[in-house]
Structure 1
Amino acid sequence: MEVLKIDGSATEPVKIVLERRIKPGAQPAFEQWLKALMKTAAQHPALQGSSVFKAGEGDYFILLRFESQSALSHWQSLPEVVELLRAGEAHATPLEQPVVRTGLETWFTVPGMPAKAVPPKWKMALVTWLALLPQALILGSLLPKTLPRLVAVSVSTAIPVAALTWFIMPRLTGLLSRWLYAPTNR
């Protein structure tokens, strides 16, 4: 059973990040295990979302978001989850201990860097704002003023969130990683 580092209170949503490196020749078995893990997670009513990212040859980041720390703990204590996580060890090795996060930290995960490394919050806020500002300005000028307010707000938030999650933040985080993760002098 894996031990978790927990950041956050019991009432806010949390994300668990599982990093795995597939053992040689175990790709098909790992993919079956991953499907089973995602299916088991999806059956839990407190799961709010999940993502799987492939980083390089055979390295995977598995992100699961639960409505609270207690919901995540409940899911992890289910016998089928305990057995599933144990069975996964035959196909892949953990790169890092699982980490639970509560904020935007998962946007700032760089492949090859431990998931527990988190930039200072002010840097995360600044980079997020710099990535969001041009999108807001462009969408504000492109969207017709005649659109109903709910539609305009929905479009002007959905597009930037999707762009930040899948395109902009992974590239921007990699580009700015030396500055984001620079040691702080305190």
Structure 2
Amino acid sequence: MTRSELNSEYFDWMCRLVCNRRYTRGLSYQKLLRFLHNVDFNYTIEMDGNREEDGIDLRYRFGYENSYENAMISSYLDNSPCSILEMMIALAIRCEEHIMDDPDIGNRTGQWFWGMIENLGLRKLTDARFDEDYAEEIVQRFLDRRYKRNGEGGLFTVEHCRRDLRTVEIWYQMCWYLDEIV
């Protein structure tokens, strides 16, 4: 297997984790997801390094679930920084598996992922309407933390938050968001 083939398989695997009719309403978002996978996740708050590590660990989860040796993953996939797509999918998985797991409801990883896409303002960017300049502007706003104090325009909106979410690590933003909706 070549590096390119493994990277393609990894991208497809990530997409399957969050894309299904329930969340994408039958629309294709391949261009948006590929765009997000080509943008490095950079952070300014030190603890967001944990989100980066989770994104990198996603590569090894893919390897484990598909019976690839760690050496192959390390050599072929773990040679670039964590992408925004990897960080967001890993965060959605962590949200589902470590906080919101409910066997009666089933796996909602896609729900948490698409909620972040919606809050960022990227939901309208289907393949038919993809605008790379707009996507770049939105993603840069997120990375620069130029969204609203309550998180609107970032990954999570917390309506009744006493803290400025632009100064808080992503993990706490997510937890406060979940507290508000549950």
Give the TM-score band, short-chain normalised. Answer: under 0.3
- Higher helix fraction: Structure 1 or Structure 2? 2
Structure with larger Rg: 1
**Higher relative contact order, structure no. (Cα contacts within 8 Å, ≥ 6 residues apart):** 1
Q: TM-score, normalised by structure 2?
A: 0.28
